[in-house]
Copies of this chain bind each other. A is one copy, B any other.
Protein backbone atom coordinates (compact mmCIF):
# COMPACT_ATOMS: atom_id res chain seq x y z
CA UNK A 1 0.00 0.00 0.00
CA UNK A 2 1.63 3.23 -1.16
CA UNK A 3 2.17 5.67 1.68
CA UNK A 4 2.95 8.77 -0.39
CA UNK A 5 0.51 11.63 0.28
CA UNK A 6 0.93 14.80 -1.77
CA UNK A 7 -0.43 18.19 -0.71
CA UNK A 8 -1.74 20.92 -3.00
CA UNK A 9 -3.40 23.96 -1.41
CA UNK A 10 -4.01 27.69 -1.71
CA UNK A 11 -3.06 28.24 1.94
CA UNK A 12 0.13 30.19 1.26
CA UNK A 13 3.02 29.86 3.67
CA UNK A 14 2.58 32.67 6.19
CA UNK A 15 0.11 30.81 8.43
CA UNK A 16 -0.33 27.60 10.41
CA UNK A 17 -2.74 25.86 8.02
CA UNK A 18 -0.29 23.71 6.06
CA UNK A 19 1.53 22.66 9.22
CA UNK A 20 -1.71 21.72 10.96
CA UNK A 21 -2.71 19.39 8.09
CA UNK A 22 0.73 17.76 8.05
CA UNK A 23 0.54 17.23 11.80
CA UNK A 24 -2.90 15.59 11.56
CA UNK A 25 -1.70 13.20 8.85
CA UNK A 26 1.45 12.19 10.73
CA UNK A 27 -0.50 11.72 13.96
CA UNK A 28 -2.64 9.10 12.19
CA UNK A 29 0.10 7.58 10.01
CA UNK A 30 3.61 8.46 11.23
CA UNK A 31 5.06 6.55 8.27
CA UNK A 32 3.25 8.62 5.64
CA UNK A 33 5.66 10.22 3.17
CA UNK A 34 4.48 13.82 2.73
CA UNK A 35 5.27 15.50 -0.58
CA UNK A 36 4.49 19.18 -1.15
CA UNK A 37 3.26 19.88 -4.67
CA UNK A 38 2.46 23.52 -3.91
CA UNK A 39 0.76 25.72 -1.34
CA UNK A 40 0.95 28.75 -3.62
CA UNK A 41 -2.21 28.30 -5.67
CA UNK A 42 -3.76 31.78 -5.84
CA UNK A 43 -6.51 32.01 -3.18
CA UNK A 44 -9.57 30.04 -4.33
CA UNK A 45 -8.25 29.61 -7.88
CA UNK A 46 -9.72 26.22 -8.71
CA UNK A 47 -8.67 26.47 -12.36
CA UNK A 48 -5.01 27.03 -11.52
CA UNK A 49 -5.12 24.06 -9.13
CA UNK A 50 -6.77 21.91 -11.82
CA UNK A 51 -3.91 22.75 -14.22
CA UNK A 52 -1.29 21.90 -11.60
CA UNK A 53 -2.96 18.59 -10.77
CA UNK A 54 -3.10 17.71 -14.48
CA UNK A 55 0.60 18.47 -14.97
CA UNK A 56 1.98 16.94 -11.80
CA UNK A 57 -0.08 14.11 -10.34
CA UNK A 58 -0.04 11.53 -13.19
CA UNK A 59 3.75 11.24 -12.71
CA UNK A 60 3.44 9.77 -9.20
CA UNK A 61 3.59 6.06 -8.30
CA UNK A 62 0.35 4.12 -8.71
CA UNK A 63 -1.85 4.45 -5.64
CA UNK A 64 -0.44 7.80 -4.51
CA UNK A 65 -2.97 9.81 -2.50
CA UNK A 66 -3.31 13.44 -3.56
CA UNK A 67 -4.85 15.70 -0.91
CA UNK A 68 -6.08 18.90 -2.55
CA UNK A 69 -7.56 21.76 -0.56
CA UNK A 70 -8.73 24.74 -2.60
CA UNK A 71 -12.12 25.12 -1.04
CA UNK A 72 -14.02 28.40 -1.35
CA UNK A 73 -17.23 26.57 -0.41
CA UNK A 74 -15.93 25.15 2.88
CA UNK A 75 -18.76 24.59 5.34
CA UNK A 76 -21.52 24.92 2.74
CA UNK A 77 -23.37 22.13 0.97
CA UNK A 78 -20.59 21.40 -1.54
CA UNK A 79 -19.50 17.77 -1.36
CA UNK A 80 -16.14 16.27 -0.50
CA UNK A 81 -15.04 13.30 -2.56
CA UNK A 82 -12.62 10.47 -2.94
CA UNK A 83 -11.87 9.74 -6.62
CA UNK A 84 -9.71 7.38 -8.64
CA UNK A 85 -8.41 8.68 -11.97
CA UNK A 86 -5.85 6.67 -13.95
CA UNK A 87 -3.87 4.92 -11.25
CA UNK A 88 -3.94 7.90 -8.86
CA UNK A 89 -6.21 8.65 -5.89
CA UNK A 90 -7.61 12.03 -4.89
CA UNK A 91 -9.28 13.49 -1.79
CA UNK A 92 -10.72 16.99 -2.33
CA UNK A 93 -13.83 19.16 -2.44
CA UNK A 94 -16.16 18.38 -5.35
CA UNK A 95 -15.79 21.78 -7.00
CA UNK A 96 -14.06 21.15 -10.31
CA UNK A 97 -10.52 20.58 -9.06
CA UNK A 98 -10.26 17.33 -11.04
CA UNK A 99 -11.82 18.74 -14.20
CA UNK A 100 -8.59 18.91 -16.26
CA UNK A 101 -7.59 15.37 -15.28
CA UNK A 102 -10.99 13.96 -16.22
CA UNK A 103 -11.03 15.63 -19.66
CA UNK A 104 -8.65 12.89 -20.81
CA UNK A 105 -9.31 10.19 -18.30
CA UNK A 106 -12.77 9.66 -16.75
CA UNK A 107 -12.78 8.73 -13.06
CA UNK A 108 -13.11 5.00 -12.44
CA UNK A 109 -14.52 5.48 -8.94
CA UNK A 110 -16.07 8.35 -6.99
CA UNK A 111 -17.14 8.16 -3.34
CA UNK A 112 -18.98 11.01 -1.61
CA UNK A 113 -17.50 11.45 1.88
CA UNK A 114 -20.25 11.11 4.46
CA UNK A 115 -19.03 8.68 7.11
CA UNK A 116 -17.87 11.02 9.86
CA UNK A 117 -16.38 8.16 11.82
CA UNK A 118 -13.17 8.67 9.82
CA UNK A 119 -13.02 12.42 10.44
CA UNK A 120 -11.78 14.44 13.40
CA UNK A 121 -14.10 14.15 16.39
CA UNK A 122 -14.74 17.90 16.24
CA UNK A 123 -15.10 19.38 12.73
CA UNK A 124 -14.70 23.15 12.40
CA UNK A 125 -16.94 24.91 9.87
CA UNK A 126 -14.00 26.57 8.13
CA UNK A 127 -11.17 24.04 7.91
CA UNK A 128 -12.35 20.75 6.42
CA UNK A 129 -8.83 20.25 5.06
CA UNK A 130 -7.58 19.67 8.59
CA UNK A 131 -10.68 18.06 10.08
CA UNK A 132 -12.08 15.87 7.26
CA UNK A 133 -9.74 15.53 4.27
CA UNK A 134 -6.39 15.09 6.07
CA UNK A 135 -7.73 12.36 8.40
CA UNK A 136 -9.33 10.56 5.45
CA UNK A 137 -6.13 10.73 3.37
CA UNK A 138 -4.09 9.44 6.31
CA UNK A 139 -6.46 6.53 6.93
CA UNK A 140 -6.48 5.61 3.23
CA UNK A 141 -2.68 5.50 3.39
CA UNK A 142 -3.03 2.94 6.21
CA UNK A 143 -5.19 0.76 3.98
CA UNK A 144 -8.74 1.89 4.78
CA UNK A 145 -11.18 0.60 2.14
CA UNK A 146 -12.57 3.64 0.26
CA UNK A 147 -16.03 2.02 0.40
CA UNK A 148 -15.97 2.87 4.12
CA UNK A 149 -15.89 6.61 3.38
CA UNK A 150 -19.44 7.00 2.05
CA UNK A 151 -21.61 6.21 -0.95
CA UNK A 152 -20.66 5.95 -4.62
CA UNK A 153 -21.32 9.04 -6.72
CA UNK A 154 -21.76 9.11 -10.51
CA UNK A 155 -20.31 12.39 -11.65
CA UNK A 156 -18.03 15.18 -10.56
CA UNK A 157 -18.83 18.88 -10.68
CA UNK A 158 -17.49 20.25 -13.99
CA UNK A 159 -16.05 23.74 -14.47
CA UNK A 160 -16.03 23.69 -18.23
CA UNK A 161 -12.97 24.95 -20.08
CA UNK A 162 -12.79 27.07 -23.22
CA UNK A 163 -12.37 24.77 -26.22
CA UNK A 164 -10.35 25.79 -29.26
CA UNK A 165 -12.16 25.96 -32.61
CA UNK A 166 -10.70 24.22 -35.59
CA UNK A 167 -11.99 25.56 -38.92
CA UNK A 168 -10.48 25.14 -42.37
CA UNK A 169 -6.80 25.79 -41.96
CA UNK A 170 -7.07 27.77 -38.71
CA UNK A 171 -7.21 27.01 -34.98
CA UNK A 172 -8.64 29.68 -32.67
CA UNK A 173 -7.73 28.94 -29.04
CA UNK A 174 -6.86 30.86 -25.91
CA UNK A 175 -4.40 31.21 -23.05
CA UNK A 176 -5.56 29.05 -20.13
CA UNK A 177 -2.68 29.47 -17.71
CA UNK A 178 0.48 31.56 -17.21
CA UNK A 179 3.41 29.99 -15.39
CA UNK A 180 6.05 31.54 -13.09
CA UNK A 181 8.38 32.18 -16.04
CA UNK A 182 5.67 34.24 -17.76
CA UNK A 183 5.09 31.54 -20.40
CA UNK A 184 1.53 31.57 -21.79
CA UNK A 185 0.08 28.06 -21.94
CA UNK A 186 -2.80 27.63 -24.41
CA UNK A 187 -5.57 25.07 -24.86
CA UNK A 188 -4.17 24.10 -28.29
CA UNK A 189 -2.71 20.59 -28.15
CA UNK A 190 0.05 18.99 -30.21
CA UNK A 191 -2.62 16.71 -31.75
CA UNK A 192 -4.51 19.72 -33.14
CA UNK A 193 -1.28 21.16 -34.53
CA UNK A 194 -0.52 17.81 -36.19
CA UNK A 195 -3.97 17.85 -37.80
CA UNK A 196 -3.11 21.26 -39.24
CA UNK A 197 0.09 19.89 -40.75
CA UNK A 198 2.74 20.47 -38.06
CA UNK A 199 5.71 20.05 -38.27
CA UNK A 200 4.96 21.93 -41.50
CA UNK A 201 5.53 25.63 -40.83
CA UNK A 202 2.66 27.20 -38.90
CA UNK A 203 2.35 30.79 -37.78
CA UNK A 204 0.86 31.95 -34.49
CA UNK A 205 -0.93 35.22 -33.72
CA UNK A 206 -1.48 36.69 -30.28
CA UNK A 207 -2.34 40.25 -29.25
CA UNK A 208 -1.18 41.96 -32.48
CA UNK A 209 2.02 39.93 -32.63
CA UNK A 210 2.70 37.35 -35.34
CA UNK A 211 5.16 34.55 -34.65
CA UNK A 212 6.12 33.10 -38.04
CA UNK A 213 7.04 29.57 -36.94
CA UNK A 214 6.83 27.07 -34.09
CA UNK A 215 10.21 26.53 -32.41
CA UNK A 216 11.59 23.32 -30.98
CA UNK A 217 12.74 24.78 -27.64
CA UNK A 218 13.40 28.08 -25.81
CA UNK A 219 17.09 28.28 -26.72
CA UNK A 220 16.53 28.04 -30.50
CA UNK A 221 16.09 31.79 -30.78
CA UNK A 222 18.00 34.80 -29.42
CA UNK A 223 17.30 36.19 -25.94
CA UNK A 224 14.26 38.46 -25.86
CA UNK A 225 12.61 36.93 -28.95
CA UNK A 226 8.91 36.04 -28.76
CA UNK A 227 8.44 32.39 -29.72
CA UNK A 228 5.80 29.67 -29.91
CA UNK A 229 6.57 26.08 -29.00
CA UNK A 230 4.97 22.86 -27.81
CA UNK A 231 5.61 22.73 -24.06
CA UNK A 232 6.30 19.83 -21.75
CA UNK A 233 2.57 19.16 -21.27
CA UNK A 234 1.97 18.84 -25.02
CA UNK A 235 0.21 22.22 -25.23
CA UNK A 236 1.16 25.16 -27.47
CA UNK A 237 2.94 27.85 -25.43
CA UNK A 238 3.92 31.43 -26.18
CA UNK A 239 7.25 32.30 -24.55
CA UNK A 240 9.91 34.98 -24.63
CA UNK A 241 13.45 33.58 -24.66
CA UNK A 242 14.95 33.94 -21.14
CA UNK A 243 12.31 36.60 -20.33
CA UNK A 244 8.59 36.89 -19.67
CA UNK A 245 6.06 36.78 -22.51
CA UNK A 246 3.37 37.76 -20.00
CA UNK A 247 5.16 41.04 -19.20
CA UNK A 248 6.06 41.77 -22.83
CA UNK A 249 2.51 41.30 -24.15
CA UNK A 250 0.66 42.39 -21.01
CA UNK A 251 -1.24 39.14 -21.55
CA UNK A 252 -3.97 37.59 -19.43
CA UNK A 253 -5.68 34.23 -19.25
CA UNK A 254 -8.31 34.22 -21.98
CA UNK A 255 -6.22 36.05 -24.60
CA UNK A 256 -6.98 34.67 -28.08
CA UNK A 257 -4.35 32.66 -29.93
CA UNK A 258 -4.72 31.90 -33.65
CA UNK A 259 -2.67 29.31 -35.53
CA UNK A 260 -2.68 28.95 -39.32
CA UNK A 261 -0.58 27.76 -42.21
Contacts and interface: CB of A to CB of B under 8 A. Distances in A.
A212 to B, nearest CB: 19
Interface in A37-60: 37-44, 48, 51-60
29 contacts: A6-B22, A11-B180, A12-B40, A14-B48, A15-B52, A15-B177, A16-B51, A16-B55, A17-B56, A17-B179, A17-B232, A19-B38, A19-B57, A20-B232, A22-B35, A22-B59, A23-B57, A26-B33, A43-B182, A43-B244, A72-B218, A73-B219, A75-B217, A75-B219, A76-B219, A125-B216, A125-B217, A127-B232, A130-B232
A148 to B, nearest CB: 23
Nearest to A181: B43
Q: How many copies of this chain does one complex carry?
A: 3
Given A11-B180, A23-B58, 12 more contacts: A15-B38, A15-B51, A15-B180, A16-B37, A18-B56, A21-B59, A22-B56, A23-B60, A26-B61, A27-B59, A72-B242, A127-B231
Chain A contact patch, size range:
35 or more
A229 interface: yes
A220 interface: yes
Given A30-B4, A76-B217, A37 B61 contact: no
A26 B60 contact: yes
Interface of A: 2, 4, 6, 8, 11-24, 26-27, 30, 33-44, 48, 51-61, 64, 72-76, 78, 124-127, 130-131, 177, 179-182, 216-220, 229-233, 242, 244
